[in-house]
Amino acid sequence: MGIAPSFRFQTSASPMHHFIMLRSQLMDSDMDYERPNVETIKCVVVGDNAVGKTRLICARACNATLTQYQLLATHVPTVWAIDQYRVCQEVLERSRDVVDDVSVSLRLWDTFGDHHKDRRFAYGRSDVVVLCFSIANPNSLHHVKTMWYPEIKHFCPRAPVILVGCQLDLRYADLEAVNRARRPLARPIKSNEILAPEKGREVAKELGVPYYETSVVAQFGVKDVFDNAIRAALISRRHLQFWKSHLRNVQRPLLQAPFLPPKPPPPIITVPAPPSSTEEHPGRLLEDPLCADVILVLQERQRLFAHKIYLATASSKFYDLFLMDLGPEEEEEEGAKKEEEEGRPRRAPPLCGRDLLMRAASFDVCESSEGEATGPACGPAPATGP
């Protein structure tokens, strides 16, 4: 039996010590298959190249965390070695878990994403298959239906399938910054190619499989995916090994809690400097946008900054204009219908927002500053007594 490179003999320790350590680890990894109440689950992870399969496996098996810019480095197709369960004690310990009061040992199998590769050995005796695609690559979701799912059903027709959308963090990332950080010849990620959650759920519903989303950067959904993959495998095993009483309480794959997007950066608020004490006069307010709540646009060019309090004080027309409600008149229409039902005479229809604006903007000679308006423009003269 060959010895793994990480356990080669060193001069600082005796060969017998290394042999004992290696033998104990090999025996410990094989004990999971012999324990009566420990269910060993073989989980095969498949999907297109560069969708995040290996990163997802490393996040579960090795608790590996990566930044978004580390994930954007040049992609080199890799496969996570299954013999890590024999040569690495930490990986073996992390493979053990308890799901629904059932002790399990999860063995993850990574695969190449090339379509022409022969994966029949990886599919052999698999308990569950995790089918991955990238939410930033619509073609990977298309290949789920046309290539991967038929292949899974061909080699392991009885194994349950879990559909997983990887790279969830790209849905909420700054794509311009992401594309700048990628290698020069890399295909840019376009915003119109980011898949919505409904697209993945639609395909999952069509295939009749559960659907989950993950992000290795945000450490979201990794535990959900593999815990529910274990549940699906245990339920399938319970149908064949019905005499195992400890499998009775296993639940079906659960729904995933929604992802909480990262907080957006706070808005940049610029407050203009207040005018100096020598320039504090009402005319200054027409040029300074400080605290202005009205903008008068003249011929689509000149902009005058004003304040409602000054305009309402200077003219009753502006006072009425700022107090009127320019929203929809559903309430008044309902009131008119109610009056018709009660038999009362219907009032004149209310003026629309444009008519109210035109009426308020018209100048009334009755309000001229000199008070010289007379005649019918000012309305009928008040009645005099006898």
Domains of the chain: 16-247 (3.40.50.300), 282-322 (no CATH)
Instruction: From residue 311, give the alpha-carbon distance in Å to each of 24, 286, 307, 325, 331.
Output: 88, 11, 6, 18, 29
What is the C-alpha separation between 212 and 160, in angstroms, rounded? 14
Q: What residues contact residue 287 under an 8 Å CB cut-off, 6+ apart?
A: 305
106 residue type, one letter: L
Residues paired with 294 in a beta bridge? 306
pLDDT given for residue 133 in this prediction: 98
Q: Round the CA-based radius of gyration of the chain to a whole number and report it.
A: 36
pLDDT given for residue 105 in this prediction: 95
Phi-psi region of 167 (alpha: psi -120 to 50; beta: other; left: phi over 0): left
The encoded tokens of residue 228 equal 């529910």
3-state secondary structure the chain: CCCCHHHCCCCCCCHHHHHHHHHHHHHHHHHHHHCCCEEEEEEEEEECCCCCHHHHHHHHHCCCCCCHHHHCCCCCCCCCCCCHHHHCHHHHHHHEEEECCEEEEEEEEECCCCCCCCCHHHHCCCCEEEEEEECCCHHHHHHHHHHHHHHHHHHCCCCCEEEEEECHHHHCCCHHHHHHHCCCCCCCCCHHHCCCHHHHHHHHHHHCCCEEECECCCCECHHHHHHHHHHHHHHHHHHHCCCCHHHCCCCCCCCCCCCCCCCCCCCCCCCCCCCCHHHCCHHHHHCCCCCCCEEEEECCCEEEEECHHHHHHHCHHHHHHHHCCCCCCHHHHHHHHHHHHHCCCCCCCCCCHHHHHHHHHCCCHHHCCCCCCCCHHHCCCCCCCC
- The answer to whether 104 touches 232, Cβ cutoff 8 Å, is no
Residue for token digits 């004490």?
277
Q: What is the pLDDT along the chain (386 residues), one digit of tens a residue?
A: 344 444 333 334 455 555 455 455 444 545 555 566 899 999 999 999 989 999 999 999 998 887 766 666 655 666 777 778 888 889 999 999 999 999 999 999 999 888 777 888 899 999 999 999 999 999 999 999 999 999 999 999 999 999 999 999 999 988 888 888 877 777 889 999 999 999 999 999 999 999 999 999 999 999 999 999 999 999 999 999 988 899 999 999 999 999 998 888 888 888 767 666 655 666 666 666 767 788 888 887 888 888 888 888 888 988 888 887 655 555 566 666 666 666 666 555 555 555 555 554 444 444 444 444 444 444 444 444 44
The CA-based angle 128-101-247, given to 5 degrees, is 55
pTM, two decimals, is 0.63
